[in-house]
Structure 1
Amino acid sequence: MRVAAFTGGHSFDRDAFTDFLGSLPGEITWLEHPDADLEAAELAEFDVSLHYDMPGTLPEPADPPATLRAAVAAAPDTGHGYVVLHHAIASWANWDGWAEFVGGRYLYRPGVVRGESCPDSGYRHAVPQQITVADPAHPIVAGLPTTFDLVDETYLCEVFEDDVTPLLRTDAEMSDAVHWSTALAMTGRRDEREGWHHRAGSQLVGWTKTTGRSRLAYLQPGDKAPTLSDPVYRQLVAGSLEWAAHTR
């Protein structure tokens, strides 16, 4: 299994991520923005892309390269797989296509999602939570416990539940009473929510999508070293890569 791992556009613990990559199956090539734009022939050398990046959003929204647009459009035919982790759901703020492809959208500022005006998304760090496997029969979770505990960041964001297949659910509270406004954080008012309101969010923190021959898995946990080093989480990501690459 040949894996292209992408980072950049969002800060992360490099030592923890390096160790995490070393735990995963397959031959992994680590690519970092801005030097991570692959032509179609280069991407074809890999079976699956592992996204832990967040390009095209900060400090200002930017359009994705034509090569990425083409890769996403061609995925149903090429069968290239995708595993999208944590903050990578917030990539390419100017491009609806990424959100539709992944199955949800994180907004750094208020915006329009599927024709509806939405507030900026919310975040909450270091949340103790129990994760429940929603589909124990799915190949990704083979050999995993049906419930496991993590302490990880949660997102109060848009999830297109009707378009995805549930894989994981959290018992963490998903409301604006306990999350913080991302737009306020962008103005320097970190961990504040004054004047910010958001409807109750989805309990889904993991899902899959199949588009033609292409398989995609999104896993919302993955913020810091404790999760990246967790053996159950590592097994979950490994299973996601193998499933997306059509080897499981």
Structure 2
Amino acid sequence: MRILAITGGHSYDRAAFADLLDALPGEVTWREHPDAAIGPDDLADHDVSLHYDMPGTLPEPHDPPDSLRECLRTARETGHGYVVLHHAIASWANWDDWAEFVGGRYLYRPGTVRGTPRPDSGYRHAVDQRITVQDATHPVTAGLPDHLDLVDETYLCEVFEDSVTPLLRTDAPMTDDVHFSTALAMSGQRDERAGWQHDEGSSLVGWCRTNGASRLVYLQPGDTATTLAHPGYRSLVANSLSWAARSS
């Protein structure tokens, strides 16, 4: 399995992520922004992309290059696989197609999602949570216990449950009284929620979907070194890559 791993655009534990890559079943090529521009020719040399990046959002949103737009446009035919981890759901804040491709959207500022005005998304670090497998028969969850106990960040964000196949749910509360406003954090008021309101969010933290011939898995956990080193989480990522690459 030929894996293209992509990082950058968001802070992360580099050593912990490198250890995760070393544990994966396959040949890994690692690219980091700003030198991680990809196009259809790059993807043709790999079976699956592992996204742990967050381009196009900070410090100000900007549009994706045409080469990346072409990757998503042609995915239905090429069948290239995608595994999207944690903060990579927040990539390309101005690009609706990325959100639809992944199956959810993280808003740094209030915006419009599927034609409806929505508040900015929320975050909460170091949440003690139990993540329960929803479909033990799916190849992504094969061999996993019925639950994983993790301490990891949660997102109160848009999840398109009508467009994805649910795989994992968390028991952590997905409400605005325990999360913090991303827009306030962007304005320098980190870990604040004064005046911010958000509907109760989805408990879904792992899903898969198909875009034509292309398979995709999204896993919300992945913020901490402890999570990246967790045997169950590593099995989950490895299974996701195999399924998305159609190698299992």
Give distance in 1, aligned partners of 2:137 and 2:161. 19
Task: Give the Å deviation of 1:193.
Answer: 0.2
Query: For structure 1, which segment, 4-13 or 31-40, has the greater mean C-alpha deviation from structure 2 after superposition?
Result: 31-40
Query: Where in structure 1 are there 5+ consecutive unaligned residues?
Result: none
* 1:75 aligned residue: 75
Give distance in 2, aligned partners of 1:60 and 1:25. 36
Alignment of 1:52-201 (within 5 A): 52-201=52-201
The residue type paired with residue 98 of structure 1 is W
Q: Deviations over 1:15-59 (max 9, x none)?
A: 111111111110000011111112322210000000000000000
State the percentage of identical aligned residues: 71
Give distance in 2, aligned partners of 1:223 and 1:140. 20
Task: Give the Å deviation of 1:147.
Answer: 1.0
The two structures, once aligned, show a CA RMSD in angstroms of: 0.6
The residue type paired with residue 129 of structure 2 is Q
SS of the residue corresponding to residue 53 of structure 2 reads coil
Give distance in 2, aligned partners of 1:206 and 1:233. 11
SS of the residue corresponding to residue 98 of structure 2 reads helix
* 2:224 aligned residue: 224
* 1:49 aligned residue: 49
State TM-score, norm by structure 2.
0.99
State TM-score, norm by structure 1.
0.99
Task: Give the Å deviation of 1:221.
Answer: 0.2
Alignment of 1:231-246 (within 5 A): 231-246=231-246
Moved over 3 A (4+): none
How many residue pairs match? The answer is 248
Give distance in 2, aligned partners of 1:41 and 1:54. 21
Query: Where in structure 2 are there 5+ consecutive unaligned residues?
Result: none
* 2:31 aligned residue: 31
Give distance in 1, aligned partners of 2:127 and 2:38. 36
Give distance in 1, aligned partners of 2:153 and 2:127. 6
